[in-house]
Amino acid sequence: MIELKNVSKTFQTADSPVEAVRDVSLTIERGDIYGIIGLSGAGKSTLVRCINFLERPTAGQVLFQGVDLAGLDRGALARTRKSMSMIFQSFNLLSQRTALRNVCYPLEISKVPRQQAVEKARKLLELVGLTGREGAYPSQLSGGQKQRVAIARALATDPGVLLCDEATSALDPNTTRSILSLLRDINQKLGVTIVVITHEMKVVEQICNKVAVMEAGRIVESGLVREVFLTPKSAVARDLILPKNNAAVQKIDSGPLLRLVFDGQSVFSPMLSNLILECRTPVNILQASTQNIGGKVFGQMILQLPNDSAASARVQAFLTDQKIQYSEEETGDAKQWNDTNPADRAF
């Protein structure tokens, strides 16, 4: 549905040119919820603005449904943009308009008859869970409600693609989950393809089926979310999945760090307890990020082992026998691993 071929975007500044996007190629298929993730300054927002030609690429091609956007005149490009609506972190609602009139706004621009526009706007507000709030102004709405109005407004032109630029970054965790659930429902019910720009791996994990990881304007890794989550190949992907914090656990005189990957083992298998009992080896949990999905564990964990080669060998043999994926991390990074719960527990 959307294909980027060697897309680059360079901004000219007073000092020197800035390459915000560098030679990016990716394909977003119809029905995807495609995440583009990276740290601040990675080029994510510039890339999404190149997708709908709010920023014209310096080089490369953007194809939408097989049509090269660079070849369209102004009128044709405007019509194409109606098929690629956008929502933002800051909501961008018109403060002097009610929720209903905000949703009506793009319909008014398209010269849809007033009664037809109002009826459609009411249905969209119902779709996003705002029945009864049609007459509320933005100042009377919570952050989550404002974003729901923005989503309803974005859907007013019946787009095939919804571009979400850090759409949940200004929201609290509970509201973020509800907005992401709404986007997933829209994808399933309306068949809208969604592109999610974010710096949060949890956003990608919750709703995306595919992901591209950006760093310094380039795509450094892409694929199915499950594959990237379980076997991250780039350093930035690993840091996004299990972030480091220099103020966290202090370095201890101990052995290797192992990154364990859980790809669907039963939650009823007490892996750590069995490891300690069978290997007769205490371990230190420095970081863990796991989820129970349908009675299966998915996630990753960083363990620190004693400075004992025989004990380390027993642990690695146990993990291999249990078919648990693992890799060794640099021991110098021990002081950087952080867990939101106390992480310096020995087991």
For residue 262, the cross-strand partners are 299
Neighbours of 40 (CB within 10 A): 8
Mean pLDDT by 10 residues, the chain (347 residues): 94 89 95 93 93 94 93 91 90 94 94 94 95 94 94 94 91 90 93 93 88 95 87 85 54 73 72 85 83 70 85 87 84 48 37
CB 279 within 8 A of CB 311: yes
For tokens 């867990």, name the residue.
339
Length of the chain, in residues: 347
Q: What is the pLDDT of residue 292?
A: 65
pTM across the whole model: 0.75
Residue 128 is encoded by which pair of tokens?
């996003």
In the chain, what are the domain boundaries? 2-233, 242-346
Q: What is the pLDDT of residue 249?
A: 41
Q: What is the pLDDT of residue 254?
A: 66
For tokens 């370095």, name the residue.
251
Q: What is the pLDDT of residue 251?
A: 45
Superfamily of domain 2-233: P-loop containing nucleotide triphosphate hydrolases (3.40.50.300)
DSSP string across 82-132: TTEEEEETT----TTS-HHHHHHHHHHHTT--HHHHHHHHHHHHHHTT-TT
Closest CA to 4 of 67, 65, 63, 58: 63
Q: What angle do CA 158, 162, 19 make, to 5 degrees?
A: 140
CB 2 within 8 A of CB 63: yes
Strands (E), 294-342: 296-304, 325-329
**Domain 242-346, what architecture?**
2-Layer Sandwich (3.30)
Closest CA to 108 of 158, 161, 156, 159: 156
Q: What is the pLDDT of residue 252?
A: 47
Q: Which amino acid is at 31?
A: G
Q: What is the pLDDT of residue 248?
A: 42
Q: What is the pLDDT of residue 334?
A: 47
Could you write out the three-class secondary structure of 21-45?
EEEEEEEECCCCEEEEECCCCCCHH
Q: What is the pLDDT of residue 169?
A: 86
